[in-house]
Amino acid sequence: MITSRKTYIILVFTIFIWIGFIGAISFMEAWLKFQAEGVTLKIGLSIGSLVFNALNKVELTLAIGILITLVLTKNNIKINLLKRMLLPYSILLFQSCYLLPALDKRILSIQQGFPITKSYDHLWYVILEVIKITALILIGIQILNRYEHK
Protein backbone atom coordinates (compact mmCIF):
# COMPACT_ATOMS: atom_id res chain seq x y z
CA MET A 1 0.00 0.00 0.00
CA ILE A 2 1.05 3.58 -0.61
CA THR A 3 1.40 5.89 2.39
CA SER A 4 -0.28 9.29 2.55
CA ARG A 5 2.94 11.20 1.93
CA LYS A 6 3.84 9.09 -1.11
CA THR A 7 0.28 9.39 -2.39
CA TYR A 8 0.37 13.17 -2.29
CA ILE A 9 3.78 13.35 -3.96
CA ILE A 10 2.76 10.96 -6.76
CA LEU A 11 -0.61 12.66 -7.31
CA VAL A 12 0.78 16.20 -7.36
CA PHE A 13 3.62 15.21 -9.67
CA THR A 14 1.36 13.31 -12.07
CA ILE A 15 -1.41 15.92 -12.18
CA PHE A 16 0.96 18.82 -12.81
CA ILE A 17 2.87 16.86 -15.47
CA TRP A 18 -0.51 16.23 -17.13
CA ILE A 19 -1.29 19.96 -16.95
CA GLY A 20 2.09 20.75 -18.47
CA PHE A 21 1.51 18.44 -21.42
CA ILE A 22 -1.92 19.91 -22.14
CA GLY A 23 -0.61 23.45 -21.85
CA ALA A 24 2.40 22.85 -24.08
CA ILE A 25 0.59 20.91 -26.79
CA SER A 26 -2.99 22.16 -26.86
CA PHE A 27 -2.34 25.80 -26.10
CA MET A 28 1.04 26.34 -27.72
CA GLU A 29 2.07 23.78 -30.33
CA ALA A 30 -1.39 23.51 -31.88
CA TRP A 31 -1.42 26.99 -33.39
CA LEU A 32 2.32 27.74 -33.35
CA LYS A 33 3.24 25.09 -35.92
CA PHE A 34 1.27 26.97 -38.57
CA GLN A 35 3.48 30.04 -38.00
CA ALA A 36 6.61 28.17 -39.14
CA GLU A 37 7.85 29.00 -42.60
CA GLY A 38 6.96 26.41 -45.21
CA VAL A 39 4.34 24.60 -43.13
CA THR A 40 1.35 24.05 -45.37
CA LEU A 41 -2.13 23.19 -44.13
CA LYS A 42 -1.59 19.57 -45.16
CA ILE A 43 1.73 19.29 -43.29
CA GLY A 44 0.41 21.19 -40.26
CA LEU A 45 -2.63 18.93 -40.01
CA SER A 46 -0.45 15.84 -40.33
CA ILE A 47 1.87 17.06 -37.57
CA GLY A 48 -1.12 18.01 -35.42
CA SER A 49 -2.68 14.57 -35.79
CA LEU A 50 0.58 12.86 -34.87
CA VAL A 51 1.23 15.11 -31.87
CA PHE A 52 -2.33 15.02 -30.50
CA ASN A 53 -2.52 11.24 -30.76
CA ALA A 54 0.78 11.04 -28.87
CA LEU A 55 -0.55 13.51 -26.28
CA ASN A 56 -3.65 11.35 -25.90
CA LYS A 57 -1.51 8.29 -25.13
CA VAL A 58 0.48 10.27 -22.55
CA GLU A 59 -2.74 11.56 -20.97
CA LEU A 60 -4.21 8.06 -20.78
CA THR A 61 -1.00 6.79 -19.16
CA LEU A 62 -1.03 9.59 -16.58
CA ALA A 63 -4.75 9.05 -15.88
CA ILE A 64 -4.14 5.33 -15.34
CA GLY A 65 -1.17 6.16 -13.10
CA ILE A 66 -3.38 8.38 -10.94
CA LEU A 67 -6.06 5.70 -10.78
CA ILE A 68 -3.56 3.01 -9.75
CA THR A 69 -2.11 5.33 -7.09
CA LEU A 70 -5.56 5.95 -5.66
CA VAL A 71 -6.46 2.26 -5.66
CA LEU A 72 -3.22 1.38 -3.83
CA THR A 73 -3.44 4.14 -1.25
CA LYS A 74 -4.58 3.33 2.25
CA ASN A 75 -5.96 6.70 3.29
CA ASN A 76 -9.44 8.12 2.97
CA ILE A 77 -8.78 10.63 0.17
CA LYS A 78 -9.26 8.12 -2.61
CA ILE A 79 -13.09 8.24 -2.89
CA ASN A 80 -13.21 12.04 -2.70
CA LEU A 81 -10.43 12.43 -5.25
CA LEU A 82 -11.89 9.81 -7.57
CA LYS A 83 -15.12 11.83 -7.62
CA ARG A 84 -13.18 14.97 -8.52
CA MET A 85 -11.28 13.13 -11.25
CA LEU A 86 -14.50 12.04 -12.96
CA LEU A 87 -14.67 15.27 -14.97
CA PRO A 88 -11.15 15.14 -16.48
CA TYR A 89 -11.46 11.36 -16.95
CA SER A 90 -14.81 11.73 -18.74
CA ILE A 91 -13.45 14.44 -21.00
CA LEU A 92 -10.37 12.37 -21.80
CA LEU A 93 -12.52 9.35 -22.61
CA PHE A 94 -14.80 11.39 -24.90
CA GLN A 95 -11.78 12.91 -26.65
CA SER A 96 -10.14 9.50 -27.04
CA CYS A 97 -13.18 7.60 -28.27
CA TYR A 98 -15.00 10.23 -30.32
CA LEU A 99 -13.30 13.56 -30.94
CA LEU A 100 -9.79 12.44 -31.94
CA PRO A 101 -11.04 9.77 -34.38
CA ALA A 102 -13.54 12.27 -35.86
CA LEU A 103 -10.83 14.93 -36.22
CA ASP A 104 -8.41 12.42 -37.76
CA LYS A 105 -11.07 11.42 -40.30
CA ARG A 106 -11.63 15.09 -41.13
CA ILE A 107 -7.89 15.64 -41.57
CA LEU A 108 -7.71 12.73 -44.03
CA SER A 109 -10.60 14.19 -46.01
CA ILE A 110 -8.91 17.59 -46.18
CA GLN A 111 -5.56 16.05 -47.17
CA GLN A 112 -7.20 14.00 -49.93
CA GLY A 113 -9.05 17.04 -51.25
CA PHE A 114 -12.54 15.81 -50.45
CA PRO A 115 -15.20 18.36 -49.62
CA ILE A 116 -15.88 18.62 -45.91
CA THR A 117 -19.01 19.58 -44.09
CA LYS A 118 -19.17 22.11 -41.28
CA SER A 119 -18.16 20.58 -37.96
CA TYR A 120 -17.82 21.85 -34.41
CA ASP A 121 -15.63 18.93 -33.30
CA HIS A 122 -12.47 21.08 -33.15
CA LEU A 123 -14.26 23.78 -31.16
CA TRP A 124 -15.57 21.13 -28.75
CA TYR A 125 -12.06 19.74 -28.38
CA VAL A 126 -10.71 23.18 -27.44
CA ILE A 127 -13.55 23.90 -25.01
CA LEU A 128 -13.10 20.52 -23.34
CA GLU A 129 -9.32 21.07 -23.09
CA VAL A 130 -9.97 24.34 -21.24
CA ILE A 131 -12.41 22.61 -18.89
CA LYS A 132 -10.07 19.64 -18.37
CA ILE A 133 -6.98 21.73 -17.62
CA THR A 134 -8.98 23.99 -15.29
CA ALA A 135 -10.31 20.96 -13.41
CA LEU A 136 -6.82 19.46 -13.13
CA ILE A 137 -5.37 22.75 -11.85
CA LEU A 138 -8.10 23.00 -9.20
CA ILE A 139 -7.63 19.36 -8.18
CA GLY A 140 -3.85 19.84 -8.01
CA ILE A 141 -4.23 22.93 -5.83
CA GLN A 142 -6.69 21.11 -3.55
CA ILE A 143 -4.22 18.26 -3.11
CA LEU A 144 -1.39 20.69 -2.35
CA ASN A 145 -3.55 22.55 0.18
CA ARG A 146 -4.63 19.33 1.85
CA TYR A 147 -1.05 18.12 2.17
CA GLU A 148 0.11 21.46 3.64
CA HIS A 149 -2.44 21.13 6.43
CA LYS A 150 -1.34 17.65 7.44
Domain assignment present for 101: yes
Tell me the pTM: 0.91
pLDDT at position 54: 97
Domain assignment present for 43: yes
- What pLDDT digit, counting tens, does each position of 46-56 carry? 999 999 999 99
Domain assignment present for 150: no
Specify the number of domains making up the chain: 1
* Domain residue limits at 44: 4-145
Domain assignment present for 85: yes
Domain assignment present for 50: yes
Residues 129 and 29: their CA atoms lie apart, in Å, by 14
Digits of tens for pLDDT over the chain (150 positions)?
455 778 888 999 999 999 999 999 999 998 898 899 999 989 999 999 999 999 999 999 999 999 998 888 877 667 888 899 999 999 999 999 999 999 999 999 999 999 889 999 999 999 999 999 999 999 999 888 876 655
pLDDT at position 146: 77
Residues 86 and 3: their CA atoms lie apart, in Å, by 23
Domain assignment present for 106: yes
Residues 106 and 114: their CA atoms lie apart, in Å, by 9
